[in-house]
Structure 1
Amino acid sequence: MYSRAETSLIRKEFWTAFGQYMKPVPSATGYRVSWQNYKTGVRDIYFRMKAERDFASIGIEIAHHDEELQQLYFEQFLEFKKLLENELKESWDWKIHDHDEFGNKISRIQKVRFNLNVMDKNDWPEIISFLKPRIIALDAFWANIKPGFEDF
């Protein structure tokens, strides 16, 4: 077992290593980007990457507090589903009005890879190999469709 402080430190080390690994990679628009803290530039839409004790995941979270607007955002993403899948070269799980770990109602589009443990440094290369191509693909996808979300 790890103490809370040890767990926090290991996670921080992982995300620092991920950031250093991704630092030389430019965004689709050619600018530098903080990959581990990716900013979509659109309120209530987030690209989330997680590395936990039993899984790693990456996804789009729509966190608008108004359920109808959250659904509208989700439906807008559905309009671009084929474009997203072409960019990612895979399909992801789509869930409308799901709940996050804090009980907030969100909608998400995500890919989860189980049996990876951020606490095991031997898993880090595999976690990074899972996250890297997907966050780059999300960035390329977002560069094309972001204007469709800026008017909400």
Structure 2
Amino acid sequence: MLPIEKFLQTVDATPLVAIDLIVPNENGGYLLGHRVNKPAQGFWFVPGGRIRKNERLDDAFRRIACDELGSAAVERTDAALVGVYEHLYEDNFSGQPGISTHYVVLGYRLRRPIKLENLPNTQHTAYRWATEEEILGDSAVHLNTRAYFGEPLSR
């Protein structure tokens, strides 16, 4: 891992690549977490995380699913690529002024519900299930998450 200052320089200079997980349940809901960290702090967001340098997509998917969903063993073959998205934020993980964050995100929808146990609280303070209609109608759900369900991103 990079030291914080070097990572902040990277965030300032380049886009980051990430995977977001669109996790359904058997009742038509999708998993949302209330974000603890910047960017998108205070919003409801789907689970996800950054891909590390030299990390293969399958390995990154497995690690991110484990980190974000707890003990769930999920493979990339268990999901369908929804699309490639851009997430642009005016702030950054450290709150350092004048540094924006740019993510290129691979959005994956799991093909089936999975058993969730011990959801972690490092990125989210709370979790909830919401239907597509609820997600699209709730301004507390971040616009970048609503985009996975058909909300057009405003430019």
Structure 1 or 2: larger helix share? 1
The TM-score, its normalising length taken from structure 1, stands at: 0.25
Structure 1 or 2: larger strand share? 2
The TM-score, its normalising length taken from structure 2, stands at: 0.25
- RCO comparison, higher one (Cα < 8 Å, 6+): 2
